[in-house]
Chain A
Amino acid sequence: MSHEALSISLFVVFVAATLAITVWASRNTKNATDFYAGGRSFSGPQNGLAIGGDYMSAASFLGIAGLIALYGYDGFLYSIGFLVAWLVALLLVAELLRNSGRFTMADVLAFRMSPRPVRTAAGVSTIVVSIFYLLAQMVGAGALVSLLFGFTSDFAKGATIALVGVLMIIYVVFGGMKGTTWVQIVKAVLLMTGAALITLLVLGKFGFNLSSLLNDAAEQSGKGDKFLQPGQRYATEDSGLTGKLDLISLGLALVLGTAGLPHILIRFYTVPTARDARKSVMWGIGLIGVFYLFTLVLGFGAAALVGSEEIRKVNSAGNTAAPQLAERIGEIVFGSAGGTILLAVIAAVAFATILAVVAGLTLASSSSFAHDLYAHVFRRGKATEGDEVRVARISALVIGAVSIVLGIYAQRLNVAFLVALAFAVAASGNLPAILYSLFWKRFNTAGATSAIYGGLGAAIFFVAFSPVVSGDEKALFTDHDWSWFPLSNPGILSIPIGFLCGFLGTVLSKEYNAAKYAEIEVRSLTGAGAEAAVKD
């Protein structure tokens, strides 16, 4: 049996299992709390797994392993930012958000503000961030299929994007948060198991001696010791000060973006209490941390055993390093059949990974559309729960359909920068608004809308005039050049701008509601009045 056939069979099994879960979840989704928050009935460890499943995207699995395989140490910088970021979520956001919100990020922001302008701003930001992220994942899925199965035609890529889109729509429309969460849990278990297996085999090959693995990787790379040091990818020697500032800028967006990503924030609503939200982040940190340690071994293992030349031949960005390593280590340890099987397993896991992440993103954006924009802005809070959930399902369908079309259209473009942009927007617009809401007494409506629009606008503005959009050979538009902003990552400017806009908007407006601040402060810290779990 070829690896393609085996891989497709495994993937079909995964799809069948997740569709069965979706059918079960749809029978148990009766009201808005079920649809948006899975009835708030998941345990801490379950939600911790789902957090891992939501967060460990194909970008971090295939992308970081590939970066390490080709550029050595610098790929590791990425994973560290992604991990440390969870402390912001744990210490400052998760529990307080669980105690004071209901379904979306905007619930917390609108708590003591004038609801319509704040929900509009938060809804726009949620949808923008989620769609950027979603589009990057969809295009990634199209690229992955051509790499793993040799389907290089645009039709095959487009068909893959459509398939991924249709599945994610089914998960979200029918399964809601319950279905999506279980898909993420299953995916997290598969991904951790697959990555752990390859990691163990690679370490075993080097006699469990990390130093000898690194040594072989450095030798194979042809760059020697430089391969094990920062500077091959980011802030390279010829990029000067611009490169170094770009590195800091990327680092800031990674560490501050996570706690402002809407699809991550809504995960905290799926557990019964703030204590469970804390436990779930603890589990999430453990899983994600261990996973990034695996990717370190996978990346250097691919550099040592596959070699950058072989990897570049298949994909110049290195995205196939992990599957290629799986095949090679399988061959080394178990013979050629072993290589075929491991490659098939990792390829199927990569698809499961993409599906779970896009489902989470679709849910976050459709929830925000229905709960924030439709129910509170258009209908001024007069929509019934049934109406709201119906609109959420329709918007999941529409958002899914739009992203299939955009994904197919964008498949020839380099959209990898969209993930970094999503983090930058989340850090520049959403995070200041959330932190000010939870901790700053004087914060008000003008402050919240200024923070979100200011941070979001600044991040998009700088990226639009950066080398990732025009002027560079790897840019979105290679034929034109209107770039003048030298950095690829806007965070170093847009994050302070977001915080500053929030501050100025607040002090320039006299509005301020002391009673509501007392309520959010007392509720967020004590859990009084927090939304309860639905009893089945």
Chain B
Amino acid sequence: MSVDKNAAGTVYERFQGTAEFQDLRRRFRRFAFPMTAAFLSWYLLYVVLSGWARGFMGTELFGSINIALVFGLLQFVSTFGIAYLYSRHAERRLDPAADKLRAEIVAETAPAARTAEDAR
């Protein structure tokens, strides 16, 4: 990666401006923000229906199992599912980029240590 060492600002400001970091940031936010909006809306829909749509929630589907119970259990399923999707996204799309950037920042912020290591 090319980081212009003569550019103004701290090492973090320079890395913040790189395409690699902006790409990592975009990948993180594009997953986390819409997903948060989605699960919060899905949860609020459930709470609102529990308050206002009693008849609908009480509809029995099979035996004593009604929509309210299934809706509640679906909140568990969606929570487990989103957690799994996030961890997969992070492992595949975030961790490798974060590791690479971290190594570069460490190399730049600790040049003395690096030189010592190279000399060995």
Contacts and interface: CB of A to CB of B under 8 A. Distances in A.
Interface in B92-110: 94-95, 98, 101-102, 105-106, 109
Contact of A84 (B24, B75, B101): B75
Given A275-B95, A278-B90, A528-B102, A519 B64 contact: no
Contact of B58 (A86, A225, A235, A523): A225
B7 to A, nearest CB: 12
Given A88-B36, A235-B51, A525-B24, A229 B102 contact: no
Count class of interface residues, chain B: 35 or more
B47 interface: yes
Interface in B35-93: 35-36, 39-40, 43-44, 46-48, 50-52, 54, 57-58, 60, 62-66, 68-69, 72, 75-76, 79-80, 82-84, 86-87, 90
B115 interface: no
Contact of B64 (A214, A522, A526): A214
B82 A87 contact: yes
Contacts of A73: 68-69, 72
Given A83-B79, A91-B86, A525-B24, A211 B64 contact: yes
A515 B47 contact: no
Contacts of B101: 522, 526, 528
A91 B35 contact: yes
A251 interface: yes
Interface string A210-230: 111011001000000110111
Contacts of B84: 282
A77 interface: yes
Interface string B11-39: 01101100001001100100110011001
Contacts of B95: 275
A13 interface: no
A150 interface: no
B69 to A, nearest CB: 7
A83 B64 contact: no
A243 B16 CA distance: 48
A90 B75 contact: no
> In the complex, which of the residues B12, B40, B62, B82 has the most CB atoms of chain A within 10 Å of its own CB atom?
B12
A212 B62 CA distance: 11
B66 A229 contact: yes
B111 interface: no
A293 B65 CA distance: 15
B10 interface: yes
Given A251-B43, A255-B40, A518 B9 contact: yes
A230 B72 CA distance: 11
Interface string A272-289: 000100110110011001
A293 B76 contact: yes
B43 A84 contact: yes
Contacts of B65: 210-211, 214
Given A210-B65, A211-B64, A522-B12, A83 B75 contact: yes
B56 to A, nearest CB: 10
Contact of A87 (B21, B36, B64, B68): B36
Nearest to A83: B79
Contacts of A218: 64
Interface in A233-286: 234-235, 243-244, 247-248, 251-252, 255, 275, 278-279, 281-282, 285-286
Nearest to A284: B83
Which of A211, A230, A248, A281 counts the most B-chain CB atoms under 10 A from its CB? A230
A252 B72 CA distance: 16
19 contacts: A73-B72, A92-B36, A95-B90, A211-B63, A214-B65, A229-B58, A229-B68, A230-B50, A230-B57, A231-B50, A247-B47, A248-B48, A255-B43, A519-B13, A522-B15, A526-B15, A526-B24, A526-B102, A528-B106
Interface of A: 73, 76-77, 80-81, 83-84, 86-88, 90-92, 95, 209-212, 214-215, 218, 225-226, 228-231, 234-235, 243-244, 247-248, 251-252, 255, 275, 278-279, 281-282, 285-286, 289, 292-293, 514-515, 518-519, 521-523, 525-529
Q: 8 closest Cβ contacts across the A-B interface?
A: A211-B63, A230-B50, A251-B47, A528-B105, A214-B64, A244-B51, A519-B12, A518-B16
